[in-house]
């Protein structure tokens, strides 16, 4: 793995840890601070930290009850956009349609939130955290598959132009 690829992965990983850190590392101070403040607002207003705790201890119904869906629906798009932005402005080559895995993950993650209070399999609810993450992984896979097909049809399937999208990080 070359240094440019490491730089992209590092920026995405910092953005996963806390949205806005990747932008700060890329030297985009104002944008990074803006994303950090926006993340804190959406996180607080959606009750995300409580939802995560309830989900991790298996109290899915309490996670659903504590969710402010009007705010929570913004989180996947914000989170994935900040990750993509950090990736995009990191050093290194970019493949066409680099954004597709992020876009599909954000869209399907939002769909996961919408259905998290009602979707169940044999009476087992996944809630706003787990269903969203499952849908986001499906979105990443779909986005990477479409991107690969586009690059293949465009003759950009070489190792040099290969995308290091979030699928490679997962």
Average pLDDT for consecutive 10-residue bins of the chain (170 residues)? Answer: 74 94 96 98 98 97 97 97 93 80 97 97 96 98 93 67 49
pTM (whole model) above 0.75: yes
**Residue 1 has what pLDDT?**
52
Amino acid 133: pLDDT: 97
Please compute Rg for the chain using Cα positions.
17
* Sequence ranges of the domains in the chain: 3-169
């Amino acid at each position: 793995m070359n240094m440019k690829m490491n730089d992209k992965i590092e920026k995405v990983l910092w953005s996963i840890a806390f949205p806005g850190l990747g932008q700060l590392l890329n030297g985009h101070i104002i944008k990074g601070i803006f994303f950090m403040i926006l993340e804190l607002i959406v996180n607080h207003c959606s009750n995300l930290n409580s939802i995560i705790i309830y989900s991790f201890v298996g109290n899915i119904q309490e996670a659903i009850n504590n969710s402010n869906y009007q705010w929570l629906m913004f989180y996947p798009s914000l989170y994935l956009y900040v990750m993509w932005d950090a990736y995009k402005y990191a050093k290194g080559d970019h493949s066409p349609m680099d954004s597709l895995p992020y876009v599909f993950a954000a869209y399907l993650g939002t769909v996961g939130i919408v259905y998290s209070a009602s979707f169940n399999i044999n009476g087992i609810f996944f809630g706003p955290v787990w269903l969203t993450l499952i849908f986001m992984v499906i979105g990443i896979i779909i986005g990477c598959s479409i991107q690969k097909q586009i690059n293949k049809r465009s003759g950009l399937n070489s190792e040099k132009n290969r995308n290091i999208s979030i699928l490679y990080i997962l």
